[in-house]
Amino acid sequence: MAYGVGAGGIMGIALEVTSGTYVAPTKFVPFNTESLNYQQATNWRRSIRNSPDINFAVAGDAHVEGDLEMDATDDILPYFMMASRMTVVKTGTTPNFTYTGTPNADATPAKTLSITIVRNSQVFAYTGCVVGSFTFGMDEGTLTYACSIVGNDEATQSAPTPTWPTTTPFGAGQYIVEIPTGSTVTDTDTFEFQVEDNAEPQFRMKNTGRGAVFVKFGEREVTTSMERDFQTRTDYDAFKALTSQSITLTATKGANNSIVILTPVAIKDTYEVNLSGQGDLVRGSISYMNMVGPSTATYTITVKSQENIS
């Protein structure tokens, strides 16, 4: 479980033993923004009864939905990986562990999260939370992680007492970009990696509350985008030929504290070259569509950390 705090509030998440059953926070996580909310579809009934007005409000289905954004750190990321549509394999021994995540085709996640948020001393506890999409990006040299959450329901919970982690975010001077993998480049200054799994809450007839029974995944789309100095037409011509490349981004603070994002088969979807004014650099804005290969996953995320997650 992870937990985070914003101005006037605290946020927490925990891996659930049973999906949809609330678990109090076990890991506290600083975060930048959040917009989680309980959403309900009320049926406003307008029966024919000699009146043009609405007659009844009938409770409809309900679920949890919203976005979280935080700095990507090696001690927090594995919790969200485990609630994503990926298979996470843990290796290593104390104090150094490796979490390797690869996408799978499962309809539902192997694990779900309980997320607790304290806003102005008021506690909101959300259950059965799944990472429906996520994005790695850069914010003034800091590696960030944003995700879209879809969950089952809301529970009741007392306010927790946070114990804040001391892990610092990845910053400037701690990145290696390889295009293709094995060839380091130093001409890119933006990077965004996005996975969209199209998560949807699933509602069934029951008498145990209005929340979703579970969350299912749909079709997946994985994209990478960046901006590079344009030096020759070689890379541009590869875009026209639909030539695939492998791309690796490594954020590292040492041998046992790193995040590595690998896309083995990336084909340029768009390539824009602009010259905005005299004396400007020629820049190439590139967007890749990442594909599954004959023997490779669409992407791999490898995290090395001292965090020991069961």
Three-state SS string over 136-197 comes to EEEECCEEEEEEEEEECEEECCCCCCCCCCCCCCCCCCCEEEECCCCCEECCEEEEEEEEEC
Whole-angstrom distance, CA of residue 15 vs CA of residue 130: 10
At 62-94, the pLDDT tens digits run 999 999 999 999 999 999 999 999 999 999 999
Residues 288, 224 contacting (CB under 8 angstroms): yes
Q: What is the pLDDT of residue 8?
A: 58
Residue 260, pLDDT score: 98
Q: Taking 50 as the threshold, does the pLDDT of residue 293 lie above it? A: yes
Q: How far apart, in whole angstroms, are the C-alpha atoms of residue 210 and residue 154?
A: 10
Q: What is the pLDDT of residue 120?
A: 87
Q: What is the rounded radius of gyration, in angstroms, for the C-alpha atoms of the chain?
A: 22
pLDDT per position as a tens digit, 190-240: 999 999 999 999 999 999 899 999 999 999 999 999 999 998 899 999 999
Q: Which residues contact 69 (CB under 8 A, 6 or more apart)?
A: 31, 32, 33, 34, 144, 145, 146, 147
Structure tokens at 254: 């040492």
Question: pTM of the predicted model, to two decimals?
Answer: 0.93
pLDDT at 277: 72
Using alpha carbons, select from 80, 189, 77, 74 the residue that is nearest to residue 139: 189
Confidence band of 44 (pLDDT split at 50, 70, 90) = very high
Spatial separation of the C-alpha atoms in residues 32 and 126, rounded to whole Å: 19
- CA pair distance 217, 107, nearest whole angstrom: 5
For 123-159, the pLDDT digits (tens) are 999 999 999 999 999 999 999 999 999 999 999 888 8
- Asked if residue 128 lies in contact with residue 209, where contact means CB atoms within 8 angstroms, the answer is no
For 231-266, what is each residue's pLDDT tens digit? Answer: 889 999 999 999 999 999 999 999 999 999 999 999
Q: How many CB atoms lie within 10 A of CB 16?
A: 20
Residue 282's CB is within 10 A of a number of other CB atoms, namely 11
Note the pLDDT tens digit of each residue in 103-132.
Answer: 999 999 999 999 999 998 899 999 999 999
